[in-house]
Amino acid sequence: MFSRLFGQKQPEEDPKREQEAAQQRAEQEHLEQQRLAQAKQAEEEASTSQRFSFLQRTRQLFSRMSSTVAQNDTITDELWDDLEEQLLAADVGPSTSTWLIERLHQRVQEEHLRTGTQIQRALREELAALLGKPSALRFSKQSPLTVILVIGVNGSGKTTSVAKMAAILTHSGHKVILAAADTFRAAAIDQLKVWGERINVPVISQNPGSDPGAVVFDAIQAAHTRGCDILIVDTAGRLHTKFNLMEELKKINKVIQKFVPDGPHELLMVIDATTGQNALLQARKFAEDIGLTGVIVTKLDSTAKGGFAFAVADDLGVPIKFIGTGEKIGDLEPFDPQKFVAALFAQN
Ligand SMILES: Nc1nc2c(ncn2[C@@H]2O[C@H](COP(=O)(O)OP(=O)(O)OP(=O)(O)O)[C@@H](O)[C@H]2O)c(=O)[nH]1
Ligand SMILES: [Mg+2]
């Protein structure tokens, strides 16, 4: 306003001064915007890093990888070797690591990338692309009951994940019921019952040694009479090589399909991240034999090998639905690929 008044008194100087003042204002605005963007990014990184503190061990490997790559002014053979070595150390797995390196080579050619920083950015983009989009649980559109069948090898975290999922779903307004279809050990049934009591979710069980298919049948009936909309079935640990156990799984599946024809709506395999590439072999067999709809990767808090998640997504062709981040009931998170990658590269 002053410049306008001033301008009225000295008309010849007006255009130049106005121009300078406008330029100054624009520069200041730009600087302010830059400062705000930097503060926002720092804030986001700090909160991501805090929220994903369970990834601490894996993050150390990825941070090292990231800075090794970014340090290079030019792209050398040594840089590629280092990168491959570090991808393997983070348990990204041989075939996924090789694929990533080839893909980055391709991008260097196509996009004329010249520096380590450019490679680092491309790596981050490719890792995020590997994981795909977030994939929420699938609910039945036809049936009033959604059935989630949870499988996996011994000790992978099935029962704990069933309880954690039940807690999340209850919290979001669903009426959940659980089936203790691991009838091999009394302790397995009790373990689920204890969780059920803690989170106030009913658990349908029979005596140890009974037929898991019969437990699932009971649970479906109970779900109908109690007006539950989600049934989660906990099963015994099994290897794909154990014929009887695989047949038992098929039988459970048949019972579900008989009474809930479009079920199971999710067939989730729980995979322990600390067991790495061996677990992947198992999962591949399960995926081939019975068809999985998704994966829960557990124990990411106990390993530096969180890069395993990329191998899972690349190899199995099914989404990671949840990640296990600890032993407590709240330690399960819907998997968000973008945030996961951002957390791996966030500075500590
Ligand atoms: N740190 C950590 N521990 C976990 C996680 N998920 C499960 N566990 C632990 O792993 C152990 C095995 O978990 P369970 O849920 O009993 O595993 P399971 O697959 O049902 O085992 P079986 O029924 O014996 O085959 C328990 O001590 C859990 O507390 C996780 O995300 N992080
Ligand atoms: Mg169990």
Whether 306 is in the pocket of ligand 1, judged by its Cβ within 6 Å, is no
Average pLDDT by consecutive 10-residue portion of the chain (348 residues)? Answer: 48 77 90 84 67 81 83 85 90 93 95 90 93 94 95 94 97 97 92 97 96 97 98 87 80 95 95 86 83 93 87 91 94 93 80
* 294 sits in which H/E element: strand 294-298
The pLDDT, as a whole number, for residue 182 is 93
The pLDDT, as a whole number, for residue 291 is 85
For residues 266 and 321, the answer to whether their CB atoms sit within 8 Å is yes
The pLDDT, as a whole number, for residue 284 is 86
Whether 154 is in the pocket of ligand 1, judged by its Cβ within 6 Å, is yes
Q: Which atom of ligand 1 is nearest to the CA of 163?
A: 15
Whether 111 is in the pocket of ligand 1, judged by its Cβ within 6 Å, is no
Question: What 3-state class would DSSP assign to 232?
Answer: strand
Whether 160 is in the pocket of ligand 1, judged by its Cβ within 6 Å, is yes
Number of Cβ within 10 Å of residue 309's Cβ equals 28
The pLDDT, as a whole number, for residue 232 is 98
pTM of the predicted protein model: 0.85
Ligand 1 centre to CA of 187 (Å) is 14
Q: Which atom of ligand 1 is nearest to the CA of 155?
A: 21
Question: What 3-state class would DSSP assign to 233?
Answer: strand
Residue nearest to atom 3 of ligand 1 (CA): 327
Ligand 1: which of 160, 235, 320 to mutate, judged by most atoms within 8 Å of the beta carbon? 160
The pLDDT, as a whole number, for residue 102 is 95
Residue nearest to atom 6 of ligand 1 (CA): 157
Summary count for the chain: helices (H), strands (E): 13, 8
Give residues with Cβ within 8 angstroms of 295, minimum separation 6: 268, 269, 270, 271, 283, 312, 316, 318, 319, 320, 321
Number of Cβ within 10 Å of residue 320's Cβ equals 25
- Tell me how far apart the alpha carbons of residues 237 and 296 are, in angstroms, rounded to a whole number: 15
Q: What angle do CA 8, 13, 16 make, to 5 degrees?
A: 115
Give residues with Cβ within 8 angstroms of 253, minimum separation 6: 149, 264, 267, 290
- Tell me how far apart the alpha carbons of residues 254 and 274 are, in angstroms, rounded to a whole number: 32
The pLDDT, as a whole number, for residue 12 is 55
